[in-house]
Amino acid sequence: MKSSISVLLAAATTAAFVSTADAVPAYGDPGKSPVAYPMDCARAKDKTRCEALNKDIAACKNKTDDEWRECMRRPAPAASVAPPKQRDCTKARNQERCEAHNAALDACKDKTTRAAHRKCMAGQLPASGAR
């Protein structure tokens, strides 16, 4: 009696593993390209980057393996932002620092991306010492 239960249990276990192995698709077929689906840009934080990724996904859909990875790793375009507004220095505690900041804003107003603006501002403003 014990041997028939153990044989039955072994057969059930084997059948379970065989059925799950058939249900799992083979990964990494050499002829298939990776599957990437377009993103919903309505809920994305950076809409410009989302749209650029969707264009890359559409352009790279017929490539495979390393070609697909190289195609998808293009730099995304930087989003342009409006420069910040100047401060009102009439009520500032440190008039010189406020005026220096406004002068730096004037010098960096042609920078359209956030990263370029920050880099320009860092070069324009004097390094602040220990407080």
- pLDDT per residue over 32-50, tens digit each? 556 678 888 888 888 888 8
Could you tell me the sign of the dihedral formed by the alpha carbons of 105, 107, 111, 114, in that order? negative
pTM exceeds 0.95: no
Taking the CA atoms of residue 126, residue 131, residue 118 and residue 42 in that order, the dihedral angle to the nearest 10 degrees is: -170
Residue segments in the chain with a per-residue pLDDT below the cut of 70: 1-4, 6-35, 74-79, 127-131
- pLDDT computed for residue 77 by the predictor: 62
Give the bridge partners for 113, in sequence order: 80
